[in-house]
Structures are given as C-alpha cells and as structure tokens.
C-alpha cells in the first residue's frame, strides 16, 4: 500500500502524543522531533508504505530521544488490562457455538489497541459482538487450510492485542497445529516485542520469533533474511493488524488479513467502512 496524504496527520499525532508522554514538559525535545518529522515529510517517497515511512521518521527522531521506548507506558497498560480480562474473555470464546470464529473476532477487536491513530476506539465495548460482520466462509476455508498443513505463521501487531491472540493460538495448538507467532525486532509505537510475548504468556504456548523489523508493520526490506525465508516457506500466513496490512497488501500473495478498519484511507482502499472487523485475503 502506498502512503496517502491522509497518513501525514496520523504520523504527527503519534509522534507528538508519544513524545509528550515520554518527555513531559520538555518542549524543546517535542519541537525538535516534530521539526525532524516535518523535514522527513518533504523527503519521503509516498510510493513506500506508511509503516516504512514511519520507521524512517522514528529513526530520524532518535538523535533527539536516543533509544527511548516512548510508548512503554501504553504497552504496559494494555498488557495489564488484557491479562485482567483474559479469563472471562476466554470463557466466553470457549462457550460460543464456534470458538475459533469467536477467537478471531476477539483478536480483531484487540487491534483497536493502537496508539498511532488520530481517533481512539473502545475495544472493550465491542466484546459483545465477537463474530459480527466476519466473512465466515472465508474463515472456514482458512481453518481448513491450516488444519491440512498443520501449520500457521502469525504476524503479530500490538501489545495488549497479543494477549488476546493467545486464545486463538491456544485453540489451534490444542488441535496439534504448530503455530509460530512473530513480533517486531525493535521498540516501535506500541507494537509487540519479545518482552510483550513473555508478559502475556504467548512464549509459553507457542514458538515466538522476530521479523527483525524496526517499523510498525512487516516491511519486507527491513526484515531479517532468516525471517523472510521463514515467511516464504510458510504454507499459511495470518497477518494481524493494520500496519501489517499496509506493509503487505499489494506486495505479497496468499496472505490472510485480520484487522480493524481504523482510518478513512484504509476504508477507501479496502472498500469497507470504518470500524469494520475484517478478515480477508487479497484477490
């Protein structure tokens, strides 16, 4: 996906919100980072995906903030809240008529936990509508394919969300399906890393690997060679979240996408309204 002009306000919003929370009262740092990003806009190639450009902007900002994990507080808060609610959400999923469908519904709703948005969403308010609007035939064919290959590679997205993903992973592992879960290679926005996988228990139930990226999405030219080989050789790939969609849509075939439509630009590209729980594959 190419970067749209509508992406630019989101870039500035994520930078300003993160910097102000991580460096409260340090107006000189806030201004320096925003000026750096404004300079980056003038030099950006909009043929690149939004996560690719965002990764470059954050690397440019490092001269002012070092390696600070500016969204750590938001990540910790999301992980904590998910762990508090996880037992009751898991019980709801297990009691549903189709636990796997309910589990993917939970995972998609968790994608609302995204600090890179101008508009914020209430993921907890949607938990009563787990399977609402999902493409059930497509999901059924996805599960059939996963069962046939006994293998699934998941491209994870946000902290907090990764905790909700443990429900789907646990159900599949219980069927004897080998699930591998992928996290980012560096701190970027509120995206999940190895540390988040440890905190929510994902690393206790399946293999967790890193794509090696320092971008808020699976930008292939930022992935490690080892991961790209793994990706290319995986018979079934599930891409979680909008950032991974932005990175891979139009770039890689036969990828299943599961995410919330959270911005007008994505809504226009995908042909579904804002707040849609989307499970799809590029045709």
Write out the two tokens for 214: 């320092």
For the segment 142-159, the average pLDDT, to the nearest whole number, is: 97
pLDDT at 246 over 60: yes
pLDDT tens profile 55-75: 999 898 888 988 888 899 889
pLDDT tens profile 118-148: 556 666 666 766 667 789 999 999 999 999 9
Percent of the chain with pLDDT over 70: 94
How many CB atoms within 10 Å of residue 155? Answer: 28
Contacts of 44 (CB under 8 A, 6+ apart): 3, 53, 56
For the segment 152-179, the average pLDDT, to the nearest whole number, is: 97
Q: Model confidence at 276, in pLDDT bands (50, 70, 90)?
A: confident
- Cα dihedral 94, 237, 125, 54, rounded to 10, equals 150
Parallel/antiparallel/unpaired status of strands 178-183 and 207-210: parallel
The strand order across the sheet containing 207-210 reads 207-210, 178-183, 151-155, 237-240, 255-260, 277-281
Write out the two tokens for 104: 């993917």
Write out the two tokens for 194: 């190895």
pLDDT tens profile 178-212: 999 999 999 999 999 999 999 999 999 999 999 99
Write out the two tokens for 108: 């998609």
Among 84-88, 118-122, 217-221, the least confident range: 118-122
């Amino acid at each position: 996906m190419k970067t749209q002009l509508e992406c630019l306000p989101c870039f500035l919003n994520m930078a300003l919100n993160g910097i102000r929370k991580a460096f409260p009262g340090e107006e000189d740092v806030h201004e320096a980072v925003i000026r750096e990003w404004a300079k980056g806009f003038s030099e950006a190639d909009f043929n690149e995906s939004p996560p690719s450009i965002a990764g470059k902007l954050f690397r440019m900002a490092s001269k002012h903030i070092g390696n600070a994990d500016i969204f750590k507080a938001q990540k910790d808060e999301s992980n904590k809240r998910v762990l508090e609610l996880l037992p009751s959400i898991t019980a709801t999923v297990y009691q549903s008529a189709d636990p796997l469908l309910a589990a993917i519904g939970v995972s998609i709703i968790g994608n609302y936990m995204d600090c890179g948005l101008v508009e914020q969403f209430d993921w907890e308010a949607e938990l009563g509508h787990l399977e609402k609007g999902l493409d059930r035939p497509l999901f059924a064919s996805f599960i059939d394919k996963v069962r046939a290959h006994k293998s699934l590679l998941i491209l994870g997205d946000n902290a907090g969300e990764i905790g909700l993903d443990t429900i789907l992973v646990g159900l599949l592992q219980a069927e004897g399906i080998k699930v591998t879960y992928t996290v980012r290679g560096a701190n970027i926005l509120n995206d999940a890393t190895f540390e988040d996988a440890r905190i929510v228990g994902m690393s206790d139930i399946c293999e967790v690997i890193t794509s090696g990226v320092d971008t808020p999405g699976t930008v292939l030219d930022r992935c490690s060679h080892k991961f790209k080989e793994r990706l290319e050789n995986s018979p079934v790939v599930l891409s979680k979240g909008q950032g991974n969609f932005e990175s891979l849509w139009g770039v890689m075939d036969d990828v299943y996408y599961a995410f919330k439509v959270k911005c007008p630009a994505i809504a226009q590209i995908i042909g579904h309204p804002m707040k849609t729980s989307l499970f799809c594959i590029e045709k």
